[in-house]
Amino acid sequence: MTLYDRIKKIADDKNMSIAYIEESVKISNGSIAKWKQNIPKADNLYKVAKFLGYSVEFLMSNEHFDINSNDLENSYIIKENIGKWVVR
């Protein structure tokens, strides 16, 4: 799953359009669609991740996920930080 596909799936499941996300985080219209082929600017990716409620690392990962799982983000954080103390 590409970065764009992951963002689109999350947006669809939250009943949001890509245009709404772009407008909300104040990035150019069409920016996210360009991420199908190009690497996004770090600050723009961070804004989108924060707005959607996910980490940049999660959005960039290639792991399969079930967007309806309430424990999705927490399980990813645990997997990435096993053996570390994580304070959120």
Q: Domain coordinates of the chain in residue numbers?
A: 3-80
Q: Residue 63's pLDDT is what?
A: 65
Q: Tell me: pLDDT of 17 over 70.
A: yes
Contacts within 8 Å (CB) and 24+ apart, 75-83: none
Mean pLDDT confidence for 27-51: 95
The closest alpha carbon to 61, from 82, 45, 47, belongs to: 45
Report the topology of domain 3-80: 434 Repressor (Amino-terminal Domain) (1.10.260)
- How open is the CA angle 78-66-6, to the nearest 5 degrees? 95
Q: Mean pLDDT for the chain?
A: 82
Mean pLDDT of 53-57: 92
pLDDT confidence tier of residue 86, bands split at 50, 70 and 90: very low
